[in-house]
Amino acid sequence: MNIDQLFESAQEAFLFYKNLSGKEKGAFLETLAEILESHRAEIVPLAVKESNLPEGRINGELGRTTGQIKLFANLVKEGSWVEATVDPADPGRQPLPKADIRRMLTPLGPVVVFGASNFPLAFSTAGGDTISALAAGCPVIYKAHPAHPETSKKVAECIAEAITKSGLPSGIFTHVEGGIDVGQALVKHPLAKAVGFTGSHAGGKALFDLAGQREEPIPVYAEMGSVNPIFCFPEKLEKNNDVLAKAFISSLTLGVGQFCTNPGLIFVPKTQAKDFEKAIAEELNDIASAPMLHPGIAQAYYDSIQFFQSREELRWVKVADPQHLINGSTALAEIQAADWIKDKVFQKEVFGAFAMMVVYETEEELLEIVKNLHGQLTITVWAEDSELKDQLFLLNLLEEKCGRLLFKGVPTGVEVGFAMQHGGPYPSTTAPNSTSVGAHAIKRFARPIALQDMPQELLPDALKDGNPLGIWRLVNGAYTK
Amino acid sequence: MNIDQLFESAQEAFLFYKNLSGKEKGAFLETLAEILESHRAEIVPLAVKESNLPEGRINGELGRTTGQIKLFANLVKEGSWVEATVDPADPGRQPLPKADIRRMLTPLGPVVVFGASNFPLAFSTAGGDTISALAAGCPVIYKAHPAHPETSKKVAECIAEAITKSGLPSGIFTHVEGGIDVGQALVKHPLAKAVGFTGSHAGGKALFDLAGQREEPIPVYAEMGSVNPIFCFPEKLEKNNDVLAKAFISSLTLGVGQFCTNPGLIFVPKTQAKDFEKAIAEELNDIASAPMLHPGIAQAYYDSIQFFQSREELRWVKVADPQHLINGSTALAEIQAADWIKDKVFQKEVFGAFAMMVVYETEEELLEIVKNLHGQLTITVWAEDSELKDQLFLLNLLEEKCGRLLFKGVPTGVEVGFAMQHGGPYPSTTAPNSTSVGAHAIKRFARPIALQDMPQELLPDALKDGNPLGIWRLVNGAYTK
For chain B, 481 residues long, give each residue's pLDDT as a single digit of tens. 799 999 999 999 999 999 999 999 999 999 999 999 999 999 999 999 999 999 999 999 999 999 999 999 999 999 999 999 999 999 999 888 999 999 999 999 999 999 999 999 999 999 999 999 999 999 999 999 999 999 999 999 999 999 999 999 999 999 999 999 999 999 999 999 999 999 999 999 999 999 999 999 999 999 998 999 999 999 999 999 999 999 999 999 999 999 999 999 999 999 999 999 999 999 998 898 889 998 889 999 999 999 999 999 999 999 887 776 677 889 999 999 999 999 999 999 999 999 999 999 999 999 999 999 999 999 999 999 999 999 999 999 999 999 999 999 999 999 999 999 999 999 999 999 999 999 999 999 999 999 999 999 999 999 999 999 999 999 998 889 8
Q: Which stretch of A40-49, A284-293, B428-437, B463-472 has the lowest confidence by average pLDDT?
A: A284-293
The CA angle A237-A241-A245, to the nearest 5 degrees, is: 110
- Could you list the beta-strand ranges (E) of A153-288: 173-176, 194-198, 220-223, 230-232, 265-269
Out of B106, B418, B426, the one facing A477 most closely (by C-beta) is B418
B208 contacts A409? CB cut-off 8 A: no
Alpha carbon distance B193, B185 (integer Å): 13
* CATH superfamily entry for domain A3-224+431-480: Aldehyde Dehydrogenase; Chain A, domain 1 (3.40.605.10)
Q: Which one, of B383, B378, B269, B257, lies nearest residue B318 by Cα?
A: B257
Task: Report how far apart, in Å, the C-alpha atoms of B126 and of each of A204, A343, B153, B160, B258 are.
Answer: 37, 41, 11, 11, 20
* Per-residue pLDDT at B199: 94
CA distances from A277 to A254, A308, B372 (A): 19, 19, 64
Q: What average pLDDT does the structure give for chain A?
A: 96
The verdict on B201 touching A (C-beta cutoff 8 Å) is no
Q: Does residue A329 have a pLDDT over 90?
A: no
Q: Closest residue of A to B433, CA-based?
A: A447
The span from the CA of A129 to the CA of A113, in Å, is: 7
- Cα radius of gyration rounded to whole Å, chain A: 24
| Homologous superfamily of domain range B3-224+430-480 | Aldehyde Dehydrogenase; Chain A, domain 1 (3.40.605.10)
Coarse DSSP helix, strand, coil percentages of chain B, rounded to the nearest 5 percent: 45, 20, 35
Point out which residues pair with A230 in neighbouring strands: A266, A380
Q: Which of A30, A50, A61, A223 is catalytic?
A: A223
Angle, vertex CA A348, rays to CA A344 and CA A353, nearest 5? 140
Statement: residue A52 has pLDDT above 70: yes
Between chain A and chain B, the number of residue pairs with CB atoms below 8 A apart is 186
Residues shown for chain B:
481
Mutate to test the interface with B, among A72, A210, A393, A449 (most CBs of B within 10 A): A449
Interatomic CA distance for residues B43 and B47, integer angstroms? 6
Q: What is the distance between the alpha carbons of residues B131 and B139, in angstroms, rounded to a whole number?
A: 10
pLDDT over threshold 90, residue A315: yes
Task: At B278, give phi and psi (nearest 5°).
Answer: -60, -45
pLDDT beyond 80 at A325: no
d(CA A379, CA A373): 10
pLDDT for the residue B63: 97
Q: Across the interface, do A407 and B86 touch by the CB < 8 Å criterion?
A: no
Q: Which residue in A407, A457, A472 has the most chain B C-beta atoms within 10 A of its own C-beta, making it the best mutation to test that interface?
A: A407
Nearest residue to A130 (alpha-carbon basis) of A155, A149, A105: A155
Give the separation between CA A304 and CA A291, rounded to whole angstroms: 17
d(CA A29, CA A173): 12
The rounded distance, in Å, linking the Cα atoms of B184 and B416 is 30
Indicate the domain borders of chain A.
Answer: 3-224+431-480, 230-406
Nearest to A455 among B403, B407, B457 (CB): B407
The candidate with the shortest Cα–Cα distance to A382, out of A284, A481, A235, is A235
- Which strand (E) or helix (H) includes residue B247? helix B234-253
Which neighbouring-strand residues pair with A98? Answer: A90
The 8 Å CB, 24+ separation contacts for A384-392 are A384/A233, A384/A235, A384/A236, A384/A239, A385/B455, A385/B457, A386/A235, A387/A233, A387/A234, A387/A235, A387/A236, A388/A233, A388/B455, A388/B458, A392/B19
In eight-state DSSP terms, residue B218 is: -
User: Do A209 and B208 lie within an 8 Å CB cutoff?
Assistant: no
Binary contact (A417, B18; C-beta < 8 A): no
Cβ of A421 within 8 Å of Cβ of B15? The answer is no
The pLDDT-based confidence of A227 (bands split at 50, 70, 90) is very high
Question: Is residue A413 within 8 angstroms of chain B, CB to CB?
Answer: yes
For chain A, what percent of residues have pLDDT higher than 70? 99
C-alpha dist (Å) from residue B273 to B245, B265, B266, B281: 11, 14, 11, 12
CATH topology of domain A230-406: Aldehyde Dehydrogenase; Chain A, domain 2 (3.40.309)
What is d(CA A109, CA B69) in angstroms, rounded to the nearest whole number? 35
- What proportions of chain A, in percent to the nearest 5, are helix, strand and coil? 45, 20, 35
Residue A332, SS3 per DSSP: strand
Asked if A102 lies within 8 A of B419 by C-beta distance, the reply is yes
Cβ-in-10-Å burial (0-12, 13-18, 19+) of B360 comes to: buried
Contact residues, chain B, for A440 at CB < 8 Å: 448
pLDDT at B90: 95
Element (H, E) at A318: strand A315-318
> Which residue is closest to A432 within chain B, CA to CA?
B447
Report the 10 Å Cβ neighbour count for A182: 14
Which residues have a Cβ under 8 Å from the Cβ of B157 and sit 6 or more positions away? none
Using an 8 Å CB-CB cutoff, list chain B residues near A450.
403-405, 419-421
The interface predicted TM-score (ipTM) is 0.96
Q: Which of residues 18-57 of A touch B (CB under 8 A)?
A: 18-19
Chain B: closest CA distance from residue A325 (Å):
33
- Which of A408, A423, A451 is facing B453, going by the closest CB pair? A408
- Write out the H or E segment, with its range, that includes residue A57: helix A55-78
Interchain proximity A448–B427, CB inside 8 Å = no
The residues of B annotated as belonging to the active site are 223, 260
Which pLDDT value is given to residue A324?
65
Q: Are A297 and A388 in contact (CB under 8 A)?
A: no
- A322/chain B closest Cα distance in angstroms: 34
The SS3 call for residue A3 is helix
Q: Identify the H or E element spanning B316.
A: strand B315-318
Strand partners, A265: A356
Are B61 and B48 spatial neighbours (Cβ–Cβ below 8 Å)? no
Q: Is the pLDDT of residue A102 over 90?
A: yes
Q: How far apart are CA A88 and CA B7, in angstroms?
A: 42
In this predicted structure, what is the pLDDT of residue A288?
A: 87
| φ, ψ for residue A271, nearest 5 deg | -60, -30
Residue of B109, B143, B126 lying closest to B8 (CA atoms): B109
CB B131 within 8 A of CB B173: no
pLDDT of residue B11: 97
Q: What's the gap in Å between the CA of A219 and the closest CA on chain B?
A: 9
Cβ contact, residue pair B15, A396, below 8 Å: yes
The DSSP symbol for B386 reads: G
Please state, in angstroms and rounded to a whole number, the distance separating the CA atoms of residues B354 and B333: 8
The answer to whether the Cβ–Cβ distance between A418 and B388 falls below 8 Å is no
Residue A84 CA to residue A325 CA, distance in Å, equals 54
Cα(A171)–Cα(A163) distance, rounded to whole angstroms? 9
Contact A216 B458 (CB under 8 A): no
d(CA B351, nearest CA chain A) in Å: 21
Contact A450 B418 (CB under 8 A): no
- Cα of B347 to nearest chain A Cα, Å: 15
Q: Is B390 on the interface with A (CB under 8 A)?
A: no
Q: Which of the 8 DSSP states describes residue A219?
A: -
Q: Are B111 and B194 in contact (CB under 8 A)?
A: yes
Region A148-168 average pLDDT? 98
Q: Taking a contact as any Cβ pair under 8 Å apart, which residues of chain B between 66 and 95 contact chain A?
A: 85-87
